[in-house]
A and B are shown apart, each in its own frame.
Chain A
């Protein structure tokens, strides 16, 4: 890696810790061709229930931030609203953090593949969103 900014960081935010962990494992396995972009996943509340912890989100975003932007992918309910609220009103997330509009599982894989290949934040967001286009029937 040169001295410039690193890779785009990916944060997966689920309503459930188990979902976040499983999707992250899947994405890492499918995307791994050597040199994965930083990926952090979180889900559920701090006490282990379903829901979303804004502190876990901001901590994860800081961990994966290499200066090239952070793509946040979310699943449903409070996961969506918490990230949107942090982006709209707060200053807790790093500069260059962006909510990516994408299906959670497919988007996570596409985002991690693209970020690991060195794509910038626009490319990562576009790849993740494109996953909406893969029709199943």
Chain B
């Protein structure tokens, strides 16, 4: 399947599948966030990705890059919490990195998402191990070079691996040692992104 390419319609289906997954998992995300955050992660992301779906349905962009840039812009303007600019930057930078191309390979998508992940690291000043979304995203974009399934597995493993970590960024970092033993909500929602990507690619 190495020759397969993915276009704008694929990217739109990906975002729609993320929206459905976030809506389905919103309560769980909020529950994780109430342990170490401010209990708004599920509701914030659900609102954001619902707005993304709505915008993409109204005016479907012509390229996969434009789909991601638009999605990122909508997330920044609708989420309201820190996850808006973080996910918005991930998708906007990835979309810009894809440029005007109409079709992208899995390797091309991995390169673009890697650029997005680097931008997220820059924005939040976090590195892997800080108990943030980067703990799922960083291994996931690497594994995506192998397969969509590997990307998903790496993201989920990365999210699970945040449980014993002590938070060093965001509100959870104020809790210090008390953040240990809880799975990071941002890493958990990041894993939903890669689960949705595998799901859409398998269709």
Interface residues of A (CB under 8 A from B): 45-46, 49-55, 77-78, 81-82, 84-86, 88-90
Query: Residues of A contacting B102 with CB < 8 Å?
Result: none
Query: Residues of A contacting B123 with CB < 8 Å?
Result: 81, 84-85, 88
Q: By the criterion CB–CB under 8 Å, are B80 and A45 in contact?
A: yes
Q: Which residue of B lies closest to A91 (CB)?
A: B73
Q: A53-B77, A54-B76, A90-B76 are in contact. Are A81 and B119 (CB under 8 A)?
A: no
Decide yes or no whether B46 CB sits under 8 A from chain A.
no
Among B22-30, B52-60, B85-93, B147-155, the stretch that binds chain A is B85-93
Q: By the criterion CB–CB under 8 Å, are A49 and B76 in contact?
A: no
Contact with A along B97-131 (1 / 0, CB 8 A): 00000000000000000000001001110000000
Q: How many A-B residue pairs have CB under 8 A?
A: 62
Query: Residues of B contacting A45 with CB < 8 Å?
Result: 80
Query: Residues of A contacting B81 with CB < 8 Å?
Result: 51-52, 77-78
Given A54-B84, A78-B82, A89-B96, 12 additional A-B pairs, CB 8 A: A49-B40, A51-B44, A52-B81, A53-B80, A54-B77, A55-B77, A77-B171, A81-B124, A85-B85, A85-B88, A89-B72, A89-B92
Quick one: which of A46, A77, A88 contacts B82, CB cutoff 8 A?
A77
Q: A77-B171, A89-B93 are in contact. Are A52 and B80 (CB under 8 A)?
A: yes
Q: By the criterion CB–CB under 8 Å, are B84 and A78 in contact?
A: yes
> Smallest CB–CB gap between B68 and chain A, Å?
11
A45 to B72, CA, bound (A): 18
**A-B contacts, 13 listed (Cβ < 8 Å):** A52-B80, A54-B76, A54-B77, A55-B77, A77-B170, A78-B82, A82-B76, A82-B85, A85-B76, A85-B85, A86-B85, A90-B73, A90-B92
